[in-house]
Amino acid sequence: MSQQPSAAPAPSPTSAVATVAKRRDWWRDAVIYQVYPRSFADSNGDGMGDLEGVRSRLPYLRDLGVDAVWLSPFYASPQADAGYDVADYRAVDPMFGNLLDADALIREARELGLRIIVDLVPNHSSDQHEWFKRAVAEGSGSPLRDRYHFRPGKGENGELPPNDWESIFGGPAWTRVADGDWYLHLFAPEQPDFNWEHPAVGDEFRSILRFWLDMGVDGFRIDVAHGLVKAEGLPDLGSHEQLKLLGNDVMPFFDQDGVHEIYRQWRLILDEYSGERIFVAEAWTPTVERTANYVRPDELHQAFNFQYLGTAWDAEELRQVIDRTLESMRPVGAPATWVLSNHDVTRHATRFANPPGLGTQIRTAGDRALGLRRARAATLLMLALPGSAYVYQGEELGLPDVVDLPDEVRQDPAYFRGAGQDGFRDGCRVPIPWTREGSSYGFGDGGSWLPQPAGWGELSVEAQTGVPGSTLELYRRALAVRRSRSDLGAGDSVEWLKAPEGVLAFRRGEFVCVANTTGESVTTPAYGRVLLASGEVTETNDGEAKLPADTTVWFTTA
């Protein structure tokens, strides 16, 4: 008989949330939902999402079944890089609201059983940060310049940069100020890097941590966690290819051992507070083994698994990265994390349409259907793995990247620096659709800061709610089943089962996950009752199950 994706009863998300909120070590198997505030919900009709908009949609996130919400930056900022250029770490940018709005959001989330994690940007500030403005104004030799990386230039008249480092966004990583000194910025020129060798920088960020912990946040996602410390002497790179935003190369400004002492100091602060607050590292490292260094017991709690995110929809590659991840995390006692999309990469519904590569684009309706089918299957595989999972806003709707944005509306700074990235990040940041109709499909009353494509409303929350087999209902049921089962979530191992080529099969207690990554249907053992499937699964009378191409199914042997 055929099994549809909504095959098993699931507990009420509302009742389950209350239980999760009291659970210890909640972060070991948490599902954390990333909100990109400017693209989530607009409460005042100015075309830009805001904190009040996020607060109004918290019940949706509770009912979706997530455990925590990670908010991308909403601090005071000139927005040269969508808020990752912070001018004041203790203020909310007026486009998003104010501190009272932040307080109301944190309080209401707690009442709904949701935890709030905020972004922290310690590698660099805005060039409009008070420290940097004064450092430039006071001229060469100002003590404030020691809080950043100011250096004299090379060449006869100092006309050349201090070294050959390049910005991740393309072009030199150095900009010269009027008095002749140069300052380091691994990202945009408006984002000068802090000098973490200066004690004032550490003092300031310990104070910032306490400010937001006192506000009641449950943790911090640390932006560029691998970049705070630079190699002594800032040595030249020598011959190399253009640096990429999402890369794992060994560099003298990334993944230096000195970062770990910073995080040991931070952990002492976090442990003073009740409620199991956590740190999550955005740490691009050459290997998962290096990533494990960030989550040793006296440092951070989680680190994003970018090796998994960058893996193609291929059974052998996936198995290798799953095994390496679990093996690397086991010695340090940290949970693995799994992620398929975020605000910096092409959405996986697009990426999987024509893998490999993080920048592939959907060209036909057939591409879109293929990408969505693989994305649904990849989601069930990810949610079956031991550890914590991250969901990027809109992926539960099956949203693709918007690939045909006009040049004049693009805002990704990487797009405007010809030697760097291709500016693909705008495509995954288009505001999400809530309703079938309206000027911005329910995002707000005043349009949206990036244009939404025609037909966006057919992917909306309204269009998918209650529709059997929709991607939204698949996510809702998967998260409910995951929460209801003790053999899902936390853990550090899987038992691999024999499977046809191109198929992954593993057992966790009474639970079995089978993922067909091939373009053909396959027959496998029916490991019990079907809990959930990303496509239609047919069970035969002789104890076998037929999985269509690019389909994942969950079984229970109980």
Max CA pair span of the chain:
83
pLDDT value at residue 244? 57
Tokens linked to 299: 């440092």
Q: How far apart are CA 42 and CA 453, in angstroms?
A: 18
Q: 268: exposed, middle or buried (C-beta count within 10 Å: 0-12, 13-18, 19+)?
A: exposed
pLDDT of residue 407: 78
Enter the DSSP assignment of 326.
Answer: H
DSSP string, 265-291: HHHHHHTTSSS--EEEE----SSHHHH
* pLDDT for residue 2: 46
Flag whether pLDDT at 179 surpasses 90.
yes
pLDDT band at 9 (very low <50, low <70, confident <90, very high): very low
User: What kind and span of H or E run contains 309?
Assistant: helix 306-309
Q: How far apart are CA 158 and CA 181, in angstroms?
A: 8
The count of other CB atoms within 10 Å of the CB of residue 423 is: 19
Q: Is the pLDDT at 463 greater than 90, yes or no?
A: yes
Could you tell me which of 31, 9, 5 has the C-alpha nearest to residue 395? Answer: 31
List the Cα angle 15/20/21 in 5-degree steps.
Answer: 100
Residue type, 138: E
**Residues in a beta bridge with 537:** 3
Q: How confident is the model at residue 71 (pLDDT cuts 50, 70, 90)?
A: very high
Report whether pLDDT(449) > 70. Answer: yes
Which of 37, 34, 11 lies closest to 389, judged by CA?
Answer: 34
The pLDDT of residue 24 is: 74
Q: What is the DSSP string of 77-116?
A: ---TTTT-S-SEEEEE-TTT--HHHHHHHHHHHHHTT-EE
Q: What confidence score (pLDDT) does residue 3 get?
A: 46
CA distance 432 to 441: 8
pLDDT at 406 over 90: no
Average pLDDT over residues 483-489: 92
Task: Give the chain's mean pLDDT.
Answer: 91
What is residue 509's predicted lDDT score, i.e. its pLDDT? 95
Structure tokens at 87: 């001018």
**CA nearest to 362, candidates 392, 400, 314:** 400
Q: Which of 230-239, 411-420, 449-458 has the lowest mean pLDDT?
A: 411-420
The amino acid present at 63, given as its one-letter code, is: D
Over 50: is that where the pLDDT of 260 sits?
yes
Cα 536 to Cα 373: distance, rounded to the nearest angstrom:
11
Portion of the chain with pLDDT greater than 90, in percent: 81
| Active site residues per annotation | 223, 272
Q: Are 185 and 191 in contact (CB under 8 A)?
A: yes
pLDDT digits (tens, 9 = 90+) for 89-147: 999 999 999 999 999 999 999 999 999 999 999 999 999 999 999 999 999 999 999 99
Structure tokens at 292: 């494990």
Q: What is the DSSP letter of 388?
A: E
Q: At what angle do helices 13-21 and 471-484 cross, to 10 degrees?
A: 50
Q: What is the pLDDT averaged over residues 35-62?
A: 98
First to last CA, the chain: 19
478, 383 contact by CB (below 8 A): yes
- 334-344 pLDDT, tens digit each: 999 999 999 98
Q: Which residues contact 471 (CB under 8 A, 6 or more apart)?
A: 372, 375, 376, 396, 397, 398, 464
pLDDT band at 245 (very low <50, low <70, confident <90, very high): low
DSSP per residue, 497-545? ----TTEEEEEETTEEEEEE-SSS-EEEE--SEEEEESS-EEE-TTSEE
Q: Tokens representing 321?
A: 């990265």
